[in-house]
Amino acid sequence: MANVIFRHVFKKFGDVIALNDFDVEIEDKEFLVLVGPSGCGKTTALRSLAGLEEVSSGEVIIGDKVVNDLPAKDRDIAMVFQSYALYPHMTVYDNMAFGLKLRKMPKDEIQRRVMEAAETLGIEKLMKRKPRELSGGQNQRVALGRAIVREPKVFLFDEPLSNLDAKLRVQMRAEISKLHHRLQTTFIYVTHDQGEAMTMATRIAVLNHGILQQLDTPQHLYDKPDNLFVAGFIGSPAMNFFQSVITKEGDELYIVCGDLKVHVPAERKALLMPLVNKEIVFGIRPEDVHNPEFAPPGITAASVRAKVDVSELMGNEINLHLVNGSNLFVGRVDPRTRFQIGDDVEVVFNMKNFHVFDPSKNPENPIAVR
């Protein structure tokens, strides 16, 4: 078992900086997910740890050992790829045993490890089949089994569920979470799917343009994003943003964006007072936009008029796409809601949970005001 440290790691491909001062410590037995859009540097970080890419500067540490100059085969890691990368002419057993045979491990030890991994993954009855005779989920389990038998210090996963259908992805991410609990080993997992990240990780590292935006627990990332990028990336549908101004009327503060005007609760006034008459970005998650008829008790409600543009019935909820003047936003409302497209309706924002971002500190990625 081992912790993993990226110490001020840079990785350049010509003039492109894929990792920009990437500085993260991953604890022993942790399940860390690297998440971000395509090209953000998450796979480069994983490949740098695996020894498949050489870092431009900084240190990569596994356990207490700097591994920058250590070949991939000597780093005691196992990697599961997006493509299953199984040998088509070999049986499941031989695919799982192949790496151990290359190490000239005793046959009885190979047998023990392969069968234990197969039992863990529920594929004992598939040992004599070949990859073409298996479903996508079964092939993914075999690829996992091939990694497990090595009993490495660290498991690396590079978008392993991307090729599976939606139902199977949900099933397999639960299997991987159970596997982590069972093996008690360090897992580092790369995905662009924030749903996978939120459901599987003990901590999430959000990257963009090679820069670490925030590293925190899933719930804290959701509740307290550090900046506009993290706020917009975590959560589905994404957080609603409004280019707004904070105004003062008597002793009260309001957030104003065109035809939209909402009252700032008393407990947030002191924090936002320095931003009066300044431009800010106001954020509210779709799940904090309610039909007032079915609003949960205890919220701090601010009424907003809007026209229904699109209504998406999801079964357990309705996603309403709403228009308020020039403002477009989404609400996740109670499925009993009977709003129709074109209706002028009232919705309420839960102002206990709103977010404010200050563009004066970073115009390209405004910082959260807390």
Amino acid at 296: P
- Read off φ and ψ for residue 268, nearest 5 degrees: -105, -5
CATH number of the domain where residue 322 is located: 2.40.50.140
CATH number of the domain where residue 101 is located: 3.40.50.300
Residue 82: its pLDDT value, please?
78
By the 8 A CB rule, do 210 and 41 touch?
Answer: yes
Q: Final residue of a domain: which of 233, 252, 278?
A: 233
Number of domains in the chain: 2
Q: Which two tokens stand for residue 16?
A: 């492109």
By the 8 A CB rule, do 35 and 194 touch?
Answer: yes
pLDDT tens-digit profile, the chain (370 residues): 689 999 999 999 999 999 999 999 999 999 999 999 999 999 999 999 999 999 999 999 999 899 999 999 899 999 888 777 889 999 999 999 998 998 889 999 999 999 988 988 889 999 999 999 998 888 888 988 888 888 889 999 998 888 778 887 888 888 889 889 988 999 999 998 888 999 999 999 999 999 999 999 999 999 999 999 999 999 989 999 999 999 999 999 999 999 999 999 999 999 999 999 999 999 999 999 999 999 999 999 999 999 999 999 999 999 999 999 999 999 999 999 999 999 999 999 999 999 999 999 899 999 999 9
Q: Final residue of a domain: which of 211, 233, 255?
A: 233
Domain carrying residue 149: 4-233
Residue 252: its pLDDT value, please?
96
Query: Do 157 and 298 reside in the same domain of the chain?
Result: no
| SS3 per-residue string spanning 50-104 | HCCCCCCEEEEEECCEECCCCCHHHCCEEEECCCCCCCCCCCHHHHHHHHHHHCC
Residue 229: its pLDDT value, please?
97
Query: Do 112 and 213 reside in the same domain of the chain?
Result: yes
Query: Do 245 and 212 reside in the same domain of the chain?
Result: no
Query: Do 229 and 245 reside in the same domain of the chain?
Result: no
Query: Do 39 and 146 reside in the same domain of the chain?
Result: yes
Query: Do 257 and 220 reside in the same domain of the chain?
Result: no
Q: Which two tokens stand for residue 341?
A: 């497209």
Query: Do 174 and 253 reside in the same domain of the chain?
Result: no
Residue 220: its pLDDT value, please?
96
Pairwise CA distance, residues 332 & 109, whole Å: 54
Pairwise CA distance, residues 127 & 347, whole Å: 57
